[in-house]
Amino acid sequence: MKTVDLRSDTVTQPTPAMREAMMTAPLGDDVFGDDPTVNALQEQLAALTGKEAALFMASGTQSNLCGIMAHCGRGDEYIVGQNAHTYRYEGGGAAVLGSIQPQPLVQDAQGRMQLADIAAAIKPDDPHFARTRLLCLENTWNGHPMPQDYLQQATDLARQHGLATHLDGARVFNAAVSDAGPGGDVSAALRRIVDRFDSVSVCFSKGLGAPVGSALCGSRELIDRARRWRKMVGGGLRQSGLLAAAARHALDHHVQRLADDHALAQRLAQGLQGIEGLRVRSAQTNIVFVDVDGGRGPDLLAHLARDGVLATGLIGLRFVTHLDVGADGIDRAIASVRRFFDAAVPASSGAAASAPAVY
């Protein structure tokens, strides 16, 4: 029986149509700037986000890193959530490679830092302190679209204090689809989100289903600086139009269908509701978190794996819907969870069976 892989939307495989687009893409040498497919992707994404330019990157981590280093210099500081991906899950790259100090702040369940905390963290112009230069936010946050009013207030605050703003928009298209609602204008929703930021990193290899790739969008000046950093961190690619073609196909064909992933996440959340010993957190886009009583999370993960259903257990159990999972797979996952609790298996005292963090 086919495995139902709900560990992350990063596990998606290129569709046959995407593979065909990759194989027929016109190619050049992107380091020389003459790969037509890469250039077309960058122009398309710059237009979608309303920015002057975009730069294709190998990964979201690379895109965020080059963005932060393009905004900040040695001895500068960026304000970021203490559980944000740019701070917690990217190997400390900005600090190690850019000598840029992170200032992490406490976040609430929706990923928001308190505005008063942001204001208090901005350092005065004094040689005792790192120079506060940048505010970094993330959207979506654990599946939650960041509220529009908060994005406005936080970026307004940053500008009042002379800070630049960067959005880790790994799943920003999920946020835009959610914000637009059924039949809504996703492009307009995307612009409402990203217009507030000086730069945004967008990932193609999650819900959009491309095998590789992200992009940094911003002003031409910022992108020129980021291109130099991309070269320095080994990101100068050659016939990368093969990868850019997958990203273009994703933008053209896989954005609207993110609503299907959101609906399946709701189906999963509703199917798990009411199980004694299991608490389901709200599913607003394509990520569902559940908390398991009595330390039984590792046992549930192991039980699911035996049934051919994969999830992760880093911060509660996490299930992520994507284009390679349909309603039948979601129903299999629900049935497996219910069998586990119906069997009333005692909690084990062994080590956790959770998988490493995935973005």
Residues 210, 321 within the same domain: no
Same domain, 112 and 232: yes
- Residue 194 and residue 296 in one domain: no
Both 230 and 288 in one domain: the answer is no
Identify whether residues 242 and 300 lie together within a single domain: no
Q: What pLDDT sits at residue 353?
A: 41
Domain boundary among 209, 237, 253: 253
Domain assignment of residue 132, yes or no = yes
What token pair was written down for 189? Answer: 């929703």
What's the N-to-C CA distance of the chain in angstroms?
27
Across 160-186, average pLDDT? 97
**What is the rounded CA–CA span in Å between residue 9 and residue 286?**
9
pLDDT at 253 over 70: yes
Q: Are residues 233 and 161 in the same domain?
A: yes
Structural domains in the chain (count): 2
230 found inside a domain: yes
pLDDT of residue 44: 98
**Mean per-residue pLDDT for 138-143?**
94
pLDDT band of residue 345 (cuts 50, 70, 90) is: low
Q: Give mean pLDDT, residues 174-185.
A: 95
Let me know how long the chain is.
Answer: 359
pLDDT for residue 347 is more than 70: no
Helix or strand or coil: residue 105? strand
User: Are 215 and 41 spatial neighbours (Cβ–Cβ below 8 Å)?
Assistant: yes
Residue 187 sits in the same domain as residue 168: yes
Q: Is residue 3 part of a domain?
A: no
Give the C-alpha separation, 207 to 22, whole Å.
Answer: 18
For residue 239, being part of any structural domain is answered with yes
| 356: in domain | no
**What is the rounded CA–CA span in Å between residue 299 and residue 307?**
12
Mean pLDDT value of segment 162-166 = 98
Residue 300 has pLDDT above 50, yes or no: yes
Tens-place pLDDT, residues 35-62: 999 999 999 999 999 999 999 999 999 9
Average pLDDT over residues 18-32: 97
355 — pLDDT class (breaks 50, 70, 90): very low
Grade residue 101 by pLDDT with cuts at 50, 70 and 90. very high
Tokens of 330: 């979601």
Q: Are residues 155 and 285 in the same domain?
A: no
Of 253, 280, 315, which closes a domain? 253
Name the band, by pLDDT with cuts 50, 70 and 90, for residue 157: very high
Query: 143 Cβ partners below 8 Å, 6+ apart?
Result: 174, 265, 283, 284, 285, 286, 287, 288, 289
Kindly state whether residue 119 falls inside one of the protein's structural domains.
yes
192, 316: one domain: no
Helices and strands in the chain, H and E counts: 14, 12
Q: Is the pLDDT of residue 357 over 50?
A: no
Check if the beta carbon of residue 55 is closer than 8 Å to that of residue 30. Answer: no
Here the CATH number for the domain that contains residue 306 is: 3.90.1150.10
Q: Are residues 269 and 288 in the same domain?
A: yes
CATH of residue 209's domain is 3.40.640.10
The answer to whether residues 106 and 145 belong to one domain is yes
pLDDT digit string, tens, across residues 270-282: 999 999 999 998 7
How far is CA 323 from each of CA 15, 37, 205, 260, 329, rounded to the nearest angstrom? 9, 24, 12, 8, 11
The reply to whether 7 falls in a domain is no
Please give the model's pTM, rounded to 2 decimal places.
0.93
Domain with 46, as residue range(s), is 14-253
**Is 141 within the bounds of a domain?**
yes
- Report the mean per-residue pLDDT for the chain: 94
**What are the Cα distances from residue 95, in Å, to 21, 80, 161?**
38, 13, 23
Whether residues 43 and 161 share a domain: the answer is yes
Pick the last residue of a domain from 216, 232, 253: 253
Amino acid (1-letter code) at residue 322: H
| pLDDT tens digits, 58-99 | 999 999 999 999 999 999 999 999 999 999 999 999 999 999
